[in-house]
Amino acid sequence: MNREEALDSVKANVENGNLVKHMLATEAIMRALARRLGGDEEEWGLTGLLHDIDVELTEGDMSSHSKLGADLAQELGASEAMAHAILCHNEAHGVSLETELDRALYCADPLTGLITAAALIRPDKKLAGLVAKSVKKRFKEKSFAAGANREQIARCSELGLELDEFIELG
């Protein structure tokens, strides 16, 4: 599977453009994490790109979300390691994080939401001028983008990354 095929499949399964953007954002952070930690950039990036491919198909059913996604990813040619990361990014299955790839996806996923929300409150609503310092400040405001799970983001420590560095990298 190449990136174009992965993105085509995401778009075929997900109508909501903001959700597609969320997956592209997760891909971007996963690529940066792979470069920083010595992971396979293509593998990590595509894991991020595909991780919520079943989000509309499962219609909010958390007991099937990410199980179906892992299966779909494997049908597209994703490795076992990629499928495992996709499966365990949803804690509802009780599958623990085992690899660096698992941990990377788990903490990158909510960071996208925090960064996007921090960009949207800027006057120009653009990411380009957003600095890590503002995102760090927002991290501490629990009511800001409350859906972006701070504990989950903070588990970047399990990858040997300080929160500041992780946010900067994101």
For binding to Fe ion (CB under 5 A), which residues are involved? 52, 109
Nearest approach, Cβ of 108 to Fe ion (angstroms)? 9
Q: Which is nearer to Fe ion, 34 or 85 (CB)?
A: 85
User: How would DSSP label each residue in the chain?
Assistant: --HHHHHHHHHHH---HHHHHHHHHHHHHHHHHHHHHT--HHHHHHHHHHTTTTTTTTTT-TTTTTHHHHHHHHHTT--HHHHHHHHHTSGGG-PPP-SHHHHHHHHHHHHHHHHHHHHHTSTT--STT--HHHHHHHHH-TTTTTTS-HHHHHGGGGGT--HHHHHHH-
Nearest approach, Cβ of 37 to Fe ion (angstroms)? 20
Q: Which is nearer to Fe ion, 23 or 118 (CB)?
A: 23
Q: Which is nearer to Fe ion, 54 or 109 (CB)?
A: 109
Nearest approach, Cβ of 22 to Fe ion (angstroms)? 6
